[in-house]
Chain A
Amino acid sequence: MHAQSADIGVNTTNPQLHLPIELRREPTLAEYLPGPNAEAVEAISAMAAGSGEPFLFLFGSPGTGKTHLLQAACLDAAQRGLKTHFIPLGTEGLEPEILENLERSDLVAIDDLEAIAGDANWERTLFAFFNQIRAHGNRLLIAAGSAPDSLPLTLADLRSRLQWGPRYCLIPLNDAECERLLIQSAAHRGMRLSDDVIRHIMHYSARDPSSLMTLIARLDSISLREQRQPTIRLVRSAMLEESPDR
Chain B
Amino acid sequence: MGLWDQCVKQLKGELTSAEFNTWILPLQARVDGRLMRLLAPNRFVLDWTQKHYERRLLDLCAEFSEGAIAQIVFEVGGLDKEAPIIPGYSRFETPPPAPDLDERRSSANLNADFTFDTFVEGKSNQIARAASMQIAQNPGTAYNPLFVYGGVGLGKTHLMHALGNVILASNPNARVVYLHSERFVAEMIKALQHNRIEEFKKTYRSVNALLIDDVQFFAGKERSQEEFFHTFNALFESRQQIVLSSDRFPKEVVGLEERLKSRFGWGLTVSIDPPDLETSVAILHCKASQLGVELPEDVAFFVGKRIRSNIRELEGALRRLVANSQFTGKPITMEFAKHALKDVLAAQDKQVSIENIQKTVAEYFKLRTSDLLSAKRSRSLARPRQIAMALSKELTKHSLPEIGNAFGGRDHTTVLHATRKIKSLRESDAAVEEDYKNLLRILNS
Could you tell me the distance in whole angstroms from the C-beta of A153 to the nearest C-beta in chain B?
9
Residues 19 to 71 of chain A near chain B (Cβ within 8 Å): 21, 24-27, 38-39, 42-43, 53, 57, 67, 71
Q: Which residues of A contact B186 (CB under 8 A)?
A: 128
Interface string of A114-146 (1 = CB under 8 A from B): 000000000010011001100110000000000
15 A-B residue pairs with Cβ-Cβ distance under 8 Å, sorted by A, are: A24-B13, A24-B17, A39-B324, A42-B327, A86-B22, A101-B42, A104-B80, A105-B26, A149-B348, A159-B152, A160-B310, A163-B310, A163-B312, A164-B316, A166-B320
Tell whether, in the assembled complex, residue A128 and residue B22 are in contact, meaning their CB atoms are under 8 Å apart. no
Tell whether, in the assembled complex, residue A157 and residue B22 are in contact, meaning their CB atoms are under 8 Å apart. no
| B406 touches A (CB below 8 Å) | yes
| B319 touches A (CB below 8 Å) | yes
Tell whether, in the assembled complex, residue B16 and residue A86 are in contact, meaning their CB atoms are under 8 Å apart. no
Name the residue in A105, A150, A166 with the highest tally of chain B Cβ atoms < 10 Å from its Cβ.
Answer: A166
Residues 1 to 54 of chain B near chain A (Cβ within 8 Å): 12-18, 20-22, 25-26, 41-45, 48
Tell whether, in the assembled complex, residue B25 and residue A39 are in contact, meaning their CB atoms are under 8 Å apart. no
Chief secondary structure at chain B's binding surface:
helix
Tell whether, in the assembled complex, residue B152 and residue A160 are in contact, meaning their CB atoms are under 8 Å apart. yes
Tell whether, in the assembled complex, residue A157 and residue B26 are in contact, meaning their CB atoms are under 8 Å apart. no
Could you tell me the distance in whole angstroms from the C-beta of B330 to the nearest C-beta in chain A?
12
Bound CA span A95–B48, Å: 11
Known: A24-B16, A74-B21, A124-B217. A101 touches B41 (CB 8 A): yes
Could you tell me the distance in whole angstroms from the C-beta of A98 to the nearest C-beta in chain B?
5
Q: Which residues of A contact B316 (CB under 8 A)?
A: 57, 163-167
Bound CA span A165–B445, Å: 26
Tell whether, in the assembled complex, residue A97 and residue B312 are in contact, meaning their CB atoms are under 8 Å apart. no
Known: A67-B18, A124-B182, A166-B323. A149 touches B44 (CB 8 A): no
Tell whether, in the assembled complex, residue B21 and residue A86 are in contact, meaning their CB atoms are under 8 Å apart. yes
Tell whether, in the assembled complex, residue B355 and residue A156 are in contact, meaning their CB atoms are under 8 Å apart. yes
Q: Which residues of B contact A95 (CB under 8 A)?
A: 44
Q: Which residues of A contact B20 (CB under 8 A)?
A: 26
| B83 touches A (CB below 8 Å) | yes
Bound CA span A39–B405, Å: 37
Count of B interface residues, CB-CB < 8 Å = 63
5 closest A-B pairs by beta carbon, nearest first, are A166-B320, A86-B21, A100-B42, A160-B153, A169-B343
| B123 touches A (CB below 8 Å) | no
Q: Which residues of A contact B217 (CB under 8 A)?
A: 124
Stretch touching chain B among A77-85, A197-205, A219-227: A77-85
Residues 101 to 116 of chain A near chain B (Cβ within 8 Å): 101-102, 104-105
Query: Contact check: which of A27, A100, A127 meets B41 at CB < 8 Å?
Result: A100
Could you tell me the distance in whole angstroms from the C-beta of B399 to the nearest C-beta in chain A?
8
Query: Contact check: which of A67, A78, A102 meets B42 at CB < 8 Å?
Result: A102
Known: A98-B42, A164-B316. A74 touches B25 (CB 8 A): yes
Could you tell me the distance in whole angstroms from the C-beta of A115 to the nearest C-beta in chain B?
13
Tell whether, in the assembled complex, residue A152 and residue B397 are in contact, meaning their CB atoms are under 8 Å apart. yes
Name the residue in B48, B323, B401 with the highest tally of chain A Cβ atoms < 10 Å from its Cβ.
Answer: B323
Q: Which residues of A contact B180 (CB under 8 A)?
A: 128, 131
Name the residue in B151, B316, B327, B402 with the highest tally of chain A Cβ atoms < 10 Å from its Cβ.
Answer: B316
Name the residue in A84, A98, A101 with the highest tally of chain B Cβ atoms < 10 Å from its Cβ.
Answer: A101
| A13 touches B (CB below 8 Å) | no
Bound CA span A157–B213, Å: 12
Could you tell me the distance in whole angstroms from the C-beta of B203 to the nearest C-beta in chain A?
18
Tell whether, in the assembled complex, residue A163 and residue B313 are in contact, meaning their CB atoms are under 8 Å apart. yes
Q: Which residues of A contact B405 (CB under 8 A)?
A: 154
Could you tell me the distance in whole angstroms from the C-beta of A222 to the nearest C-beta in chain B?
20
Residues 398 to 413 of chain B near chain A (Cβ within 8 Å): 398-399, 401-402, 405-406
| A161 touches B (CB below 8 Å) | yes
- Inter-chain pairs besides A104-B80, A124-B217, A156-B151, 13 sampled, C-beta below 8 Å: A25-B17, A39-B328, A71-B17, A85-B22, A88-B18, A101-B76, A131-B180, A135-B109, A147-B344, A152-B399, A160-B313, A163-B312, A167-B344
Tell me the nearest residue of chain B to A57, going by C-beta.
Answer: B316
Binding site for A on B (CB under 8 A): 12-18, 20-22, 25-26, 41-45, 48, 76, 79-81, 83, 109, 111, 151-153, 180, 182-183, 186, 214, 217, 247, 309-310, 312-313, 315-316, 319-320, 323-324, 327-328, 343-344, 347-348, 350-351, 353-355, 397-399, 401-402, 405-406
Tell whether, in the assembled complex, residue B16 and residue A102 are in contact, meaning their CB atoms are under 8 Å apart. no
Tell whether, in the assembled complex, residue A84 and residue B26 are in contact, meaning their CB atoms are under 8 Å apart. yes
Bound CA span A102–B42, Å: 8
Tell me the nearest residue of chain A to B81, going by C-beta.
Answer: A104
Could you tell me the distance in whole angstroms from the C-beta of A39 to the nearest C-beta in chain B?
5
Tell whether, in the assembled complex, residue B312 and residue A85 are in contact, meaning their CB atoms are under 8 Å apart. no
Q: Which residues of A contact B26 (CB under 8 A)?
A: 83-85, 105
Q: Which residues of A contact B351 (CB under 8 A)?
A: 149-150
Tell whether, in the assembled complex, residue B310 and residue A75 are in contact, meaning their CB atoms are under 8 Å apart. no
Bound CA span A168–B342, Å: 10
Q: Which residues of B contact A150 (CB under 8 A)?
A: 347, 350-351, 397
Bound CA span A101–B152, Å: 25
Tell me the nearest residue of chain B to A102, going by C-beta.
Answer: B41
Could you tell me the distance in whole angstroms from the C-beta of A223 to the nearest C-beta in chain B?
20
Q: Which residues of A contact B15 (CB under 8 A)?
A: 24
Tell whether, in the assembled complex, residue A98 and residue B25 are in contact, meaning their CB atoms are under 8 Å apart. no
Tell whether, in the assembled complex, residue A27 and residue B151 are in contact, meaning their CB atoms are under 8 Å apart. no
| A14 touches B (CB below 8 Å) | no
Query: Contact check: which of B22, B111, B348 meets A91 at CB < 8 Å?
Result: B22
| A239 touches B (CB below 8 Å) | no
Tell me the nearest residue of chain A to B22, going by C-beta.
Answer: A86
Could you tell me the distance in whole angstroms from the C-beta of B52 to the nearest C-beta in chain A?
10
Could you tell me the distance in whole angstroms from the C-beta of B234 to the nearest C-beta in chain A?
25
Q: Which residues of B contact A167 (CB under 8 A)?
A: 316, 320, 343-344
Query: Contact check: which of A39, A74, A104, A163 meets B153 at CB < 8 Å?
Result: A163
Bound CA span A206–B16, Å: 22
Tell me the nearest residue of chain B to A46, going by C-beta.
Answer: B323
Q: Which residues of B contact A156 (CB under 8 A)?
A: 151-152, 247, 354-355, 406
Tell whether, in the assembled complex, residue A83 and residue B79 are in contact, meaning their CB atoms are under 8 Å apart. yes
Known: A43-B323, A156-B151, A167-B316. A85 touches B18 (CB 8 A): no
Q: Which residues of A contact B328 (CB under 8 A)?
A: 39
